[in-house]
Chain A
Amino acid sequence: MKPQAQYPGADRAAFVARVSGALGRAGPTSPTEPAPQVEDRVARVTGPEADLGAVFAAQAAAAGMTVHPTNRAGVQREVRAVLERLGVRRVMIGEGLMLEGVAADLSAAGLELVAWRERGFAAMYDADAGVTDVQGAIAETGTLVCCSGPGRARGLSLVAPIHLAVVRRSDIVPDLVDLGVMRASEAALPSSVVLITGPSKTADIEGILITGVHGPREVHVVLVNDA
C-alpha cells in the first residue's frame, strides 16, 4: 500500500505537550492520586437487594415504554400477540437465545420477515418493527442495553417505528454505576453499546413533547421472569 499524505492538523506529541505545558509540567506523568472512587453511599440509587424486576418495570413505564410480563414458555406467544395487536406486517428479528423460534412462529402467523442481514440499513427502512434481545438492563432508569455483534445489528432497535425487546429478569443490573462491572466481565467492548430509555422523543418545538422523531415511536418490553 502506498503511504498516504499526512492529514492536516497538529502532531500528537506537540498537541499533548501543550496540555502538559498548561498543567505546568514537562510531559504526561501518571496521576499521583487515584481517580475518585465511586462509592455506593454517594452515587448508588438502586441496590442489589431491591426487587429488580419491579423497579425496572416501573422505571421503564415511566420512561414511556410498555412492559409485558411473561415467563420463559410464554415469550413467543407474547411477542406475536404484541406485534399482531399493533398491526405489524413486516418485521426484522435479531439473533439471541430469547429469540429462538420467534422468527418461525411469526412467519407461520403470516408476518413478513425483513431480510436485513443481506441488505443492512437499506432493508430496515421498510420494516414496521424490530425485535431484539438485550445484553443487559438497568433497573434504576428502566434502561435497555443493546450491544452490536453478530446477529445484532445497530439498526434493529432504531430504524422501525416499533422496537420490541425481550428482557430476562436475570439481565437486569441494579444501577448505572454497575456499568463498570458489565465492562469488566466482557472480553472486548462491542463497537456499539446503546442504552435505550424510552421511545425517541423531542421537545424542540415550544417545549411540547413529541414521541417518535427519528427513532422508534413505541418501545415494547417483553419481560421474562426466569428467576
Chain B
Amino acid sequence: MTGSPHEHPFDVPLPFDLRPRAEKAVRDLQLRQFVGSATRGKDRGRRDGFREVFGDRSEGVRTLAGAIKQHTLDHLDWYLERFIEAAGGAGVHVHFAQDGAQANAICLEIARRQGCRLCVKSKSMVTEETELLPALLAAGIETIETDLGEFILQLDHDAPSHIVTPMIHKDRAAVGRAFARELGVPYTDDPARLTAIAREHLREKYRRADLGVSGANFLVAETGSIVICTNEGNGRFCTSAPRVHVAFAGIEKLIPGPEHLGVMLKVLARSSTAQPLTCYTHCITGPRRADEHDGPDEVHLILLDNGRTEILREETRELLRCIRCGACLNACPVYRRIGGHSYGAVYSGPIGAAITPLLKGVHNFPDLPKATSLCGACFEACPVKIDLPRQFIALRRRMVEQRVTGAWERAVFRLWGWSLRSAWRYRLVSGVQRVVLRWLGRGMGPNDAGPSTRRWVSRIPGVLKGWTGERDFPAPASRSFRQWWEGEGRSER
C-alpha cells in the first residue's frame, strides 16, 4: 500500500537546525499559552503530590527509585538473562532487535505468520522511535492508534510533542475539524462529545482487531512480567482483545523484582500526571492460559537496543534510568516556550536533548545540548535523579572533542583560552573588548555624562548579532575593577 498520508515530522534534514522550528514555536502565541499553562499545571501537581504524600521523604524515595534503576543498569546483562528466562517460562516469545528496522521487521513477520490484518496500537514512545506505524501501513495492515491523543494525531497526520500528553500543542477546535473531516461526523468541539465519538469508533476496531501492539513501562526480571501503565483503558483492550499481542520495549525498562515495582509506580504517575497511580497498571505474564476465558493466544516481546548500549557506557549510563514520566519537560523553561516539535526528534525536552544526540550522533543534533539554560529544574524534577545538567556539559565537551562546534565558536574560545594563560594577555584582551564594546555603545547611555554611567550596546555585528537582536548588552564600565583598585579603590576602604 503506497501513498500513506502519515509523514513523519521527525524526518529532518541533518544536521538538524533547531532555530527555525523554535522561532516559529516562540511566535505561536496560542501554542505557547497551551504548552505553558499545561506544563506549569502538571509541574505544580507533581510538587504538591510529592509534598503531600512523602513530605520530607521526597528526596529519599527519588533516591531509592534512581538506585533501583541504576543497579539494574549496572548489571543489565544479568537481569536481561533472568528476564528472558522468566518470560520464556511464562510462554512469552522474546525477540531481539539491534535497531528500529529489525524491531519492525520482527513485528511484521509475526503479523504475517498469524495472518493479522487489523492492528490496534496503544501509546508507546519506542514504536514512535522505530516508526512502526508507517511500516505496518506500508505492509497493508490497517493500524489504528487508540490512545485518544495519538488517535487524533494519526487522523490529523501529526506527531506527538510531549512524552505523556502527545497532543499538548492542539486545541479542541483542531480536534473537531479533524474528526469532521476524517470520520465524517458533524463538527463539535465539546471534549466530552469528541471523546464519545472516539470511543464508539475504536470499539468497532477492537471487535475486529487481530493484532495488538503496546509498549512497556517496566519489565520485571524476576517474574518475566510486562507492566503497562495507562489511564484510558485502550492499552488493556489492545493487550486483551486481539489474539496476538506484540509488546515493544527498550532494554532499559528492566527492574529486578515486584517489590521494586511498587516503588517505581509510586513515583511514575505522581511525576507525570500528579496521580497517585494511573487508572490501570497492567501486569502481563504470558498469554492466556488453558483455563482462561479471554486474553491473547500469543504474547511477543521485542527487546530493542537501537543505540542504548552506547548510552549504557559509564559516563552516560544514568540517562537510561529515565522512566519517561515527562516531569523534566513540564519543569523546563526552554520546553515550555519552544514545545516538543522544536527538538526534531521523538524524545523532546531536557531528556530528549540529552539522549537524541547520543542515539543519533552529536554531529547530527549539535543544537540540542545547547537547548538548555542549565538551570537544573529538570534535575530537581526527575523522579530517578538523572543529573541532566551534568550530562549536557559532558555532551558539549564531546562536541568540542569531535569538532562539531562552528568555526566562530572555536575561534572565540581559543582566544579566550589564550587570554587566560597570563595576566598581561588577559589585560590585553579584556582591554580591547572594553574599548570595542564601549565604542559600540556610544551615545546609548540614559545621559552620557559621567564615566560611571552604564552604556548599552544594542547591536553587535557578526556572530553576536542574534543575541542583540532581542535585547541590549550592557557595555563594560569605563575602567576595569583592576584599574579602579589600583587608583582610588585601595585607599577608599
Stretch touching chain A among B283-291, B358-366, B442-450? B283-291
Q: A36-B68, A148-B292 are contacts. A125–B207 as well, Cβ < 8 Å? A: yes
Contact between B279 and A196, CB atoms less than 8 A apart = yes
Q: Does B427 contact A (CB under 8 A)?
A: no
B residues in contact with A178, CB < 8 Å: 262
Which residue of B67, B172, B232 contacts A214 across the interface (Cβ within 8 Å)?
B232
A residues in contact with B259, CB < 8 Å: 38, 177, 179-180
Least CB distance from A120 to B in Å reads 5
Give A148 to B291 CA distance when docked, in angstroms: 10
Residue of chain A at shortest CB distance from B123: A204
B residues in contact with A10, CB < 8 Å: 96-98, 102, 305
B residues in contact with A43, CB < 8 Å: 61, 64, 262-263, 266
Task: Spell out B's residues near A (CB within 8 Å).
Answer: 34, 37-38, 41, 53-54, 57, 60-61, 63-64, 67-68, 71-72, 74-78, 80-81, 84, 90, 94-98, 102-103, 105-106, 109-110, 113, 146-149, 152, 165-167, 171-172, 175, 191-192, 194-195, 198-199, 202-203, 206-207, 223, 225, 231-234, 236-237, 240-241, 251, 256-263, 265-266, 273, 275-289, 291-295, 302-303, 305, 309-310, 312-314
Q: Does A71 contact B (CB under 8 A)?
A: no
Q: Across the A-B interface, give the 5 residue pairs with the lowest CB-CB distance, nearest first.
A: A215-B233, A180-B259, A204-B149, A214-B233, A15-B96
Which residue of B37, B262, B277, B292 contacts A191 across the interface (Cβ within 8 Å)?
B292
Give A191 to B282 CA distance when docked, in angstroms: 10
Contact between A215 and B280, CB atoms less than 8 A apart = yes
Which residue of B106, B166, B309 contacts A204 across the interface (Cβ within 8 Å)?
B166
B residues in contact with A23, CB < 8 Å: 74-77, 312
Contact between B148 and A213, CB atoms less than 8 A apart = yes
Least CB distance from A173 to B in Å reads 10
Contact with B along A1-31 (1 / 0, CB 8 A): 0001001111110011011111111011111
B residues in contact with A133, CB < 8 Å: none
Least CB distance from A63 to B in Å reads 7
For the A-B complex, the count of residue pairs with Cβ-Cβ distances under 8 Å equals 283
Give A15 to B206 CA distance when docked, in angstroms: 34
Q: List 22 A-B contacts (CB under 8 A).
A: A9-B103, A9-B106, A15-B96, A15-B98, A23-B74, A23-B76, A29-B78, A30-B78, A31-B78, A42-B64, A121-B241, A179-B259, A189-B223, A191-B90, A192-B240, A194-B283, A195-B281, A200-B233, A204-B165, A205-B172, A206-B171, A213-B231
Contact between B237 and A158, CB atoms less than 8 A apart = yes
Residue of chain B at shortest CB distance from A157: B236
Q: Does A110 contact B (CB under 8 A)?
A: no
B residues in contact with A206, CB < 8 Å: 34, 171-172, 191
B residues in contact with A196, CB < 8 Å: 279-280
Task: Spell out A's residues near B (CB within 8 Å).
Answer: 4, 7-12, 15-16, 18-25, 27-31, 33, 35-36, 38-39, 41-43, 45, 59, 63, 116-117, 120-122, 125, 140-143, 148-151, 153-155, 158, 175-180, 183, 189-208, 210, 212-216
Give A23 to B70 CA distance when docked, in angstroms: 12
Q: A22-B313, A27-B77, A140-B276 are in contact. List 11 more A-B contacts (CB 8 A).
A: A9-B105, A16-B80, A148-B294, A155-B241, A179-B258, A191-B285, A192-B284, A205-B167, A210-B192, A212-B195, A214-B199
A residues in contact with B256, CB < 8 Å: 35
A residues in contact with B84, CB < 8 Å: 12
Contact between B262 and A202, CB atoms less than 8 A apart = no
Least CB distance from A148 to B in Å reads 6
Q: A8-B105, A177-B259 are contacts. A154–B57 as well, Cβ < 8 Å? A: no
Q: A200-B232, A206-B34, A213-B195 are contacts. A176–B279 as well, Cβ < 8 Å? A: no
A residues in contact with B275, CB < 8 Å: 197
Residue of chain B at shortest CB distance from A150: B291
Least CB distance from B191 to A in Å reads 4
Which residue of B71, B152, B292, B312 contacts A31 across the interface (Cβ within 8 Å)?
B71
Residue of chain A at shortest CB distance from B238: A214
Least CB distance from B144 to A in Å reads 12
Give A23 to B175 CA distance when docked, in angstroms: 46
Give A151 to B256 CA distance when docked, in angstroms: 31
Least CB distance from B88 to A in Å reads 10
Give A214 to B123 CA distance when docked, in angstroms: 14
Residue of chain A at shortest CB distance from B261: A179
Give A115 to B453 CA distance when docked, in angstroms: 87
Residue of chain A at shortest CB distance from B241: A121
Contact between A192 and B68, CB atoms less than 8 A apart = no
Least CB distance from B32 to A in Å reads 15
A residues in contact with B199, CB < 8 Å: 212-214
B residues in contact with A176, CB < 8 Å: 262-263, 265-266, 277
Least CB distance from A108 to B in Å reads 25
Most chain A CB within 10 A, of B84, B149, B241, is at B241
Contact between B312 and A204, CB atoms less than 8 A apart = no
B residues in contact with A39, CB < 8 Å: 64
Which residue of A16, A33, A45, A121 contacts B240 across the interface (Cβ within 8 Å)?
A121
B residues in contact with A149, CB < 8 Å: 291-292
Least CB distance from B58 to A in Å reads 11
Which residue of A18, A33, A203, A214 contacts B202 across the interface (Cβ within 8 Å)?
A214
Least CB distance from B190 to A in Å reads 9
Contact between A38 and B295, CB atoms less than 8 A apart = no
Q: A7-B109, A205-B148, A213-B232 are contacts. A154–B260 as well, Cβ < 8 Å? A: no
Least CB distance from B461 to A in Å reads 44
Give A192 to B212 CA distance when docked, in angstroms: 15
Q: A141-B276, A154-B240, A214-B199 are contacts. A201–B64 as well, Cβ < 8 Å? A: no
Which residue of A4, A7, A36 contacts B106 across the interface (Cβ within 8 Å)?
A7
Least CB distance from B162 to A in Å reads 10
Which residue of A28, A31, A205 contacts B191 across the interface (Cβ within 8 Å)?
A205
Contact between B278 and A197, CB atoms less than 8 A apart = yes
Least CB distance from A69 to B in Å reads 22
Which residue of B90, B106, B203 contacts A125 across the interface (Cβ within 8 Å)?
B203
B residues in contact with A35, CB < 8 Å: 68, 71-72, 256-257, 260
Give A203 to B194 CA distance when docked, in angstroms: 12
A residues in contact with B241, CB < 8 Å: 121, 155
Contact between A189 and B285, CB atoms less than 8 A apart = yes
